[in-house]
Amino acid sequence: MENADATTTTGSSPFHLAGAFAPVREERTDLDLEVLGEIPADLRGTYVRNGPNPRSGWSPAWFAAEGMLHGVRLEDGRARWYRNRWIAGTYANTSVIRHAGRMLALVEAMPPVEVTGDLETVGTYDFGGALGGPMTAHPKICPRTGELLFFSQGHSRPHLTYYRADAAGRVVHRAPIDVPAMTFMHDFAITERYVLFYVLPVLFGDARSAVPLRWDDDFPARIGVLPRDGGNEDVRWFDVAPCTISHTVNAFEDGNAIVLDAVRAPRIMAPHALHRLTFDLASGRAAESELDPRFLDFPRVHPAVVGARHRRAYTTELCDFRPDGGFSRTIARRLDLETGAAIAHDFGDGAMPGECAVAPRPGSAAEDDAWVILFVHRRDGAATELVILDAARFASPPVARARLPCRVPFGLHGEWLPDAEA
């Protein structure tokens, strides 16, 4: 493709190469961004977001491209810099985390790639040799223990391996899990004592196709519940209705049951809805109910409630979803899971808010005592803004907006990385 910039979008481009999704062609560094409003002085850190950005300007599918990180540094009430960098030579395009002082760019098909605070690539990171394969792009950091919990999948046995690293980043537990095949497991969940694996009827098909997934009616849909320090023999498998799960909202223990909120669909490449699944450890049975019928994806909760009971979730509603997986409009929504309310923040016509990151107020673990940080993209290809909302007043005007000097493509997952934890 000659030029995939949003300003030259044509009607024939696939969704992921046009409009707000179109890749950018350059790496840049811009200092001292223009800010409207007031950036809270105690927000000190970097917001970083990952996403596919093909170097050539063309890719066969949204997810099949080199990864690019976009970062905005907040300090002393100012937006000190914006940087974007390709993750050198790799497709680590899905998410970014920081654990034990190490910042990692992740994609589920590869081991992590370590990057610096300035978003420069260091290289592949394998936990000192302990990680023998790829790593999920959705590991969980336990807010109580500081542990990093994650899994690895492979086409050959064991198809699934569970890992737990301590707060210092050392792998202290590794357990192969016996599953019949490598399934499309994009996310998983943790509670205070358990981890949950989604072994669902979405398998890998023709690797040459843009989306190499296939649905298998004969493959049993099961969710495995495993004690955090357990092995294959400790897994309790729960039969669930055939489905696919894109992302976990959160999970927690409730007496003898485990409650999982997740973004779920009855088949692949279909609009998802928000469901609550409950696993009764006494009876061995699962139950399921719909929390919200809308396609509310990119769910995030306050980092202090990961694995514990949550009330709030921040989501991105995907509107006008198409069979090719594309969507052309998004709405930021904060959910109240006690009342069922789904409050929207209206960014106006032509805005495409991306995933919300939750930035706790330093020293507070209260769910509402936080800011919500996100990129707001423009469908017409205009420059992107970094927006800061008050979590407790989600629908109110932003606390601050930092104007980026350029467009950031609509991407995947972002994270607030406060200095205090570095």
Known binding-site residues for Fe cation equal 138, 186, 247, 413
Tokens 């493509």 sit on residue: 409
Q: Distance of alpha carbon 420 from its chain centroid, rounded?
A: 22
CA distance 346 to 396: 9
CA distance 197 to 190: 9
Q: Residue 27 is inside which H or E element, if any?
A: none
CA distance 160 to 185: 10
How far does the chain reach from its first CA to its final CA, in angstroms? 41
CA distance 330 to 326: 11
Q: Residue 302 is inside which H or E element, if any?
A: none
CA distance 234 to 247: 24
Q: Give SS3 for 381.
A: coil
- Are the C-beta atoms of 81 and 73 separated by less than 8 Å? yes
- For residue 75, count CB atoms less than 10 angstroms from its CB and return exposed for 0-12, middle for 13-18, buried for 19 or more: middle
Question: Considering only CA atoms, which of 31, 42, 52, 29 is closest in space to residue 107?
Answer: 52
Residues placed in the known binding site: 138, 186, 247, 413
Q: Residue 45 is inside which H or E element, if any?
A: strand 45-52
Question: Considering only CA atoms, which of 352, 275, 357, 351 is closest in space to residue 315?
Answer: 357
CA distance 42 to 74: 9
